[in-house]
Chain A
Amino acid sequence: MVKELKAEVKKLNFYYGSLHALKEINLPIERRKVTALIGPSGCGKTTFLRCFNRMHDLYPHNRYEGEITLYPDNINIISPEIDPIEIRMQISMVFQKPNPFPKSIYENVAYGLRVRGVSKRAVLDEKVEKSLRGAALWDEVKDRLNHLAFDLSGGQQQRLCIARALATDPRILLFDEPTSALDPTATSKIEELIIQLKDEVTIIIVTHNMQQAARVSDYTAFMYLGEIVEYDKTDRIFTAPSNKLTEEYITGRFG
């Protein structure tokens, strides 16, 4: 079976000033699949994830080299000619801790669309409902859309952030340890949601929780010291990895 790629990372290097944080990274990102990035703290997985929506542009002295090609458009995400704001509409990020805006539930979801200049109420209403349904939150909030987002529980807030990310019809959703601040019930809801979302969108997730990577992802990349040590189907990585370092990390014998 030929893989259909949504993105492809080619010889990516990234520097925080003089610190060479990502080294010669090559990685395919398959369309409508979940790719998990795992590895010990400081291995570069979050740095790598942030390249996908140009988060590093917010700070001076950061430098990208190489390519992250987005298909089918064939554009290089990290090229300076590409507008990072537009990239962030298409490639949205969900963070470790839920970070809703100090606005209503409705306005949180509508925010990205308003930034894009959408102001028609009917369009916004439809998108907000669709996104909240997509994030499995609609039934819980449909009667209080004008309540402040902070009234929601932590797990609900995180699903609201997912709905906010979905509203702009992203091509890729980035998750940076999306459940590390949530309890097991909220965590399993988010994990179920991630698996459902891949019918619509390509997903890349950074997680410290190896069981989570095993549960939600189709592909897993193990990173160490800014490099990809091994990339394979998740079931292969968790049953019979080929690299000794991967084996040691996966089995908890690392370092």
Chain B
Amino acid sequence: MATIFEKELTDLKGMVLKLGSMVEKAISDSIKSLVERNSKLGADVIDKDPQVNALDVGIDEECIRLIALRQPRAGDLRLITTAMKITTDLERIGDLAVDVSERALELNEEPQLKPYIDIPRMAEIAQGMVRDALDAFVKRDSALAREVLVRDDLVDNLNWQVFNELLFFMIQDPKTVSRAVKITYVSKYIERIADHATNIAEMVVYLVEGKIIRHMALPEDTKKK
């Protein structure tokens, strides 16, 4: 039979997952808003951000309460500290989705500079990283978490590709600069989302294995996969 504390931990995981699904939707809606030139969707993402912020605070408060009252140890302690850190990253991802939406609303006011091809690809990878990192969190699956880390390079490369392509537009025709810079921003926001997903995945490795792997280069054999 689950103890009261075990139930509290399950509820905490549920809160983190709820926050995760909110920001995943924010990412996909913000990108859709840009690609489909649907400003209503982008405005919704901006409007819903306070809900993300409120849940972020709620999770922090719950973690602090559990630490104070339950004195968690070992795996329980790692779960609660991981939840606190993951939440911060998720909230930042939410903010980045708001940033994407704001640029989308601005870009949607002007003629489209070019068809968006790499941006949705990047966003899809970044969103998949967030989803899998959270999946790894719930299942305590460090292999899946490590697999997320590898994907960060794909997003970084696409970000460079987008930048170089837009640079070419700007050199060719200065009238494109304003729009091109905004699209570069969007690309950079998505690249940051992938970085936050990486942070989450690193915390999951800590949760499962008790090892802090932040700020360490990936071993070569992992990169080749």
Contact = CB atoms under 8 A, between A and B. Distances in A.
Interface of A: 210-211, 214, 237-241, 246-247, 250-253
Given A239-B210, A240-B210, A250 B74 contact: yes
B72 A251 contact: yes
A33 B98 CA distance: 53
Interface residues of B, number: 13
A249 to B, nearest CB: 9
A250 B78 contact: no
Contact of A241 (B71, B72, B74, B209): B74
Nearest to A244: B75
The 3 A-B pairs with the shortest beta carbon distances in the complex, nearest first, are: A240-B210, A250-B74, A250-B73
16 contacts: A210-B73, A211-B71, A238-B77, A239-B78, A240-B78, A240-B210, A240-B211, A246-B74, A250-B73, A251-B72, A251-B73, A251-B74, A251-B75, A251-B76, A252-B3, A252-B5
A239 B71 contact: no
Contacts of B210: 239-240
Interface in B12-41: none
Contacts, number: 32
Contacts of A240: 74, 78, 209-211
Nearest to A242: B210
The interface centre, meaning the residue of B5, B71, B72, B73 with most chain A CB atoms within 10 A of its CB, is B73
User: Which of A211, A214, A250 counts the most chain B CB atoms within 10 A?
Assistant: A250
A246 B78 CA distance: 15
Contact of B75 (A210, A214, A237, A247): A247
Contacts of B74: 237-241, 246-247, 250-251
| Interface hub of A210, A250, A252 (most chain B Cβ within 10 A) | A252
B77 to A, nearest CB: 6
Interface in B61-103: 71-78
A241 B5 CA distance: 20
A237 to B, nearest CB: 8
A241 B210 CA distance: 8
A235 to B, nearest CB: 11
A105 B37 CA distance: 87
A74 B10 CA distance: 53
Contacts of A211: 71
B203 to A, nearest CB: 14
Given A250-B73, A251-B74, A251-B76, 5 more contacts: A211-B71, A238-B77, A239-B78, A241-B74, A252-B5
A94 to B, nearest CB: 25
A252 B211 CA distance: 22
Contacts of A250: 73-74
A169 to B, nearest CB: 36
Interface centre among A211, A241, A246, A251 (most CB of B within 10 A): A251
A179 B73 CA distance: 21
Nearest to B207: A240
Contacts of B71: 211
Interface in B163-212: 209-211
